[in-house]
Amino acid sequence: MNLYRCRAVMPLLAHEPTHLVKTYLVVADSCEQARARVQDELPGAEFVTIPVAIPDVLLLAVDSMDEREAADLRAASVWRENHAPHADSAPPADPGNTESQD
């Protein structure tokens, strides 16, 4: 399995002058499988770019946070490291949390 990145370009809406472009990271056995998975997810896409294998670290976002948020994130990370059954497993979804997890 490899990690692939590709983009789905959505059709123009109404009188909008720009296309919405969605970037996906997909775990798949091949770039063809990665592209098919994105096309299945977005059947209305105008087109999906050829997926590119991501061989190393990829920066996804740059954010800022205040000292309190940083301290909360640090405490949550330490708790997760000490209580997670596996370091690479995803935490269970919190149905009461509607905020983005970015």
Beta pairing class for 47-48 and 2-9: antiparallel
CA distance 101 to 48: 25
Spans of all domains in the chain? 2-53
DSSP helix/strand/coil, 42 = coil
Report pTM: 0.62
H or E element, residue 34: helix 31-41
Using an 8 Å Cβ cutoff, are 52 and 7 in contact? no
48-78 tens-digit pLDDT: 999 999 888 878 778 899 999 999 999 999 9
Which one-letter amino acid corresponds to residue 8? A
Which one-letter amino acid corresponds to residue 68? R
Q: Looking at the domain that runs over 2-53, which CATH code has it been given?
A: 3.10.20
pLDDT for position 57? 80
2-29 tens-digit pLDDT: 999 999 999 998 888 899 999 999 999 9
